[in-house]
Amino acid sequence: EDKVVQSPLSLVVHEGDTVTLNCSYEVTNFRSLLWYKQEKKAPTFLFMLTSSGIEKKSGRLSSILDKKELSSILNITATQTGDSAIYLCAVDSNYQLIWGAGTKLIIKP
């Protein structure tokens, strides 16, 4: 059975800290891995990763895929209170997205 596991489930840090969120997967037919940020309502798309070892970057957020380890990390540097959210990881396998449970990130001022 395809599955995606995120860790930690929740994380509380102070503003300015750097955080690393993890996503590991076991799927039958990997096509890509996607990261989303969910604040109150709709998840918003952050990154899609298909190739191992190539970092995707957007401002203070970056992500990299390791196909050998079947995992991905999402880094957020110099965190701000606006980064508080649930971060979701999903893997495209057999043309369907398999979702992790998410990491709830709380940034304290």
- Shorter beta-carbon distance to other proteins: residue 48 or 70: 48
Least distance in angstroms from the C-beta of 77 to other proteins: 24
Binding mask 14-53 for other proteins (x = CB under 8 A): -----------------xx-x------xxxxx--x-----
Instruction: Say how far apart CA 29 and CA 41 lie, in whole Å.
Output: 30
- Shorter beta-carbon distance to other proteins: residue 10 or 77: 10
Least distance in angstroms from the C-beta of 101 to other proteins: 5
> Per residue in 66-75, is it b (16+ CB within 10 Å) or e — as a string?
eeeebbbbbe
Name the 3-class secondary structure at 82.
Answer: helix
- Shorter beta-carbon distance to other proteins: residue 49 or 64: 49
Instruction: Say how far apart CA 58 and CA 34 lie, in whole Å.
Output: 14
Residue 54 token pair: 């190539």
